[in-house]
Amino acid sequence: MNGTRCYVGNLLYAATKAQLETLFSPIGPLREVRVMTDRETGRPKGFAFIAFEHAEDAQTACEQLDQKEFGGRPLTVNIAREREREARGGRGGR
């Protein structure tokens, strides 16, 4: 998935997956739209990840939609960095 995912920040907490699909799908085919929520409360965190089928479409989305007003707020749209996997050690083991 290198370069095919966009980070979308500064979202209204009320932003929905359907609204983001409507905004991003004209740029190119989407693989996934994930509105991030808090694990414990289920409340939106104000950011999302949009995965495109093609890296060129993700780059185009960044160019066209970064700082675009959405719900009265300027979006932050950039290529998502891949999360580094954390080494999971044992707890209190020897």
Is pLDDT above 80 for 88?
no
Terminal alpha carbon distance of the chain = 37
Q: Mean pLDDT lowest for which of 1-5, 50-54, 77-81? A: 1-5
Q: Model pTM?
A: 0.84
In CATH terms, 5-79 corresponds, of 3.40.440.10, 3.40.190.10, 3.30.70.330, 2.40.160.210, to 3.30.70.330
Q: Which residues contact 56 (CB under 8 A, 6 or more apart)?
A: 28
Is pLDDT above 50 for 37?
yes
Buried b (16+ CB within 10 A) or exposed e, 79-91: bbeeeeeeeeeee
Q: Once rounded to an integer, what is the mean pLDDT over residues 3-19? A: 95
pLDDT for res 94: 47
Is pLDDT above 80 for 93?
no
